[in-house]
Amino acid sequence: DAKTTQPTSMDCAEGRAANLPCNHSTISGNEYVYWYRQIHSQGPQYIIHGLKNNETNEMASLIITEDRKSSTLILPHATLRDTAVYYCIVPFQGTYKYIFGTGTRLKVLA
């Protein structure tokens, strides 16, 4: 089973921030959280990852709670091209193996 849980779907207005939550309550101390998105059956695209501190890159920001049991991916100004399924993944400790959950289907509305 996946180590993460995410809402099944979300809508966001174009130009607004999209905040995608993820719960990973069983995460261990040195396990990272990775985020990917998959646009219409293409290969998943890496977005961002983090351990403890908040992270930001050109695509998104990642906010990790202090207890590390949950995180939020933020797309600051969502566009129609951000419509995709977003996956939050915590690889099993000591491995690079990914167990994909169902992800969140984000629809950005014009």
Partner 1 sequence: SAVISQKPSRDICQRGTSLTIQCQVDSQVTMMFWYRQQPGQSLTLIATANQGSEATYESGFVIDKFPISRPNLTFSTLTVSNMSPEDSSIYLCSVVGKTNEQFFGPGTRLTVL
Q: For binding to partner 1 (CB under 8 A), which residues are involved?
A: 32, 34, 36, 41-46, 49, 87, 91, 96-103
* Amino acid in the structure at residue 96: Y
**Complex with partner 1: residue 46 or 69, whichever CB lies closer:** 46
Structure tokens at 33: 């959280």
Structure tokens at 51: 């351990």
**Complex with partner 1: residue 37 or 68, whichever CB lies closer:** 37
**Complex with partner 1: residue 12 or 36, whichever CB lies closer:** 36
Q: Quick one: DSSP state of residue 44?
A: P
C-beta of residue 43 within 8 angstroms of C-beta of residue 109:
no
**Closest approach of partner 1 to the CB of residue 75, in Å:** 18
